[in-house]
Amino acid sequence: MGVGDSGVLARIQQMGMGSVPLHDLLAIVLSREETDVAHNEDGAADLVRRYPGRRIVDLSQNELHAISGYEQFESLRVLAAIEIGRRAGQSHFQLVDQINSVEDSFKLFAWLAGEKQEHFCAAYLNSKGGVISTKVIHIGTLNMSVVGAREVFREAVRENAASVIVAHNHPSGDPSPSPEDIAVTHRLHEAGTMLDIKVLDHIVVGSNRSVSLMREGLI
């Protein structure tokens, strides 16, 4: 198989390592040989959806085994490579494990600034504000028909979360909340009140700044 025969390898050759999406890089890491790359594309994309942005560092040995069949040492080798990348990037973006302020929320979702498509995400918190997990709920244009309370709070119940912070990006770069953003926020806030799972904030991420709907008085 030549480099041009694999979509991942062709993209890396054409665009460079720094420009291809994260799931392409992960597909390479998961592959023992060049012929494995195409086979691992779907599994890598699924892992990136489950562990968005910098949360890929939460990847487990069991998931690596399920996707690629890696045994213990091979899984550790891949996880070590991911950990090297995490540590190298800590000086620029710090992982956030506790939400104590709006600024912490901005940091948690800072990775959304680099996304070319609109991503709607949620962070699930325990009673002390610790981040249990983050999930991508929807990719695409934000509207109430696709971002429903069921999708957000199903995970909240599963994670036994006390509260949730939702966030999405504006690929245009302007984080000013739209009427649709505000409507979705109110709908989620009402649903959370009934379930006793508080929606603490809705963060809108732009290219150079983020906006908190809570801080703007819109929650």
CA 212 → CA 41, 58, 101, 156, 167, distances in Å?
35, 26, 11, 21, 9
The pLDDT value recorded for residue 66 is: 75
**Residue 188 buriedness (CB in 10 A; 0-12 / 13-18 / 19+):** buried
pLDDT for the residue numbered 90:
47
pLDDT value of residue 191: 94
Neighbours of 181 (CB within 10 A): 22
pLDDT at 2: 43
> For position 89, what pLDDT does the model report?
56
Whole-angstrom distance, CA of residue 174 vs CA of residue 181? 13
Q: Outline which parts of the chain fall under CATH 3.40.140.10.
A: 102-212
Contacts of 106 (CB under 8 A, 6+ apart): 203, 205, 210, 212
To 5 degrees, how large is the angle CA 192–CA 198–CA 203? 100
Low-confidence ranges of the chain (pLDDT < 70): 1-6, 18, 53-55, 57-58, 67-68, 86-95, 142-147
Candidate CATH numbers 3.40.140.10, 3.60.90.10, 1.10.3720.10, 3.90.25.10; the one for domain 102-212:
3.40.140.10
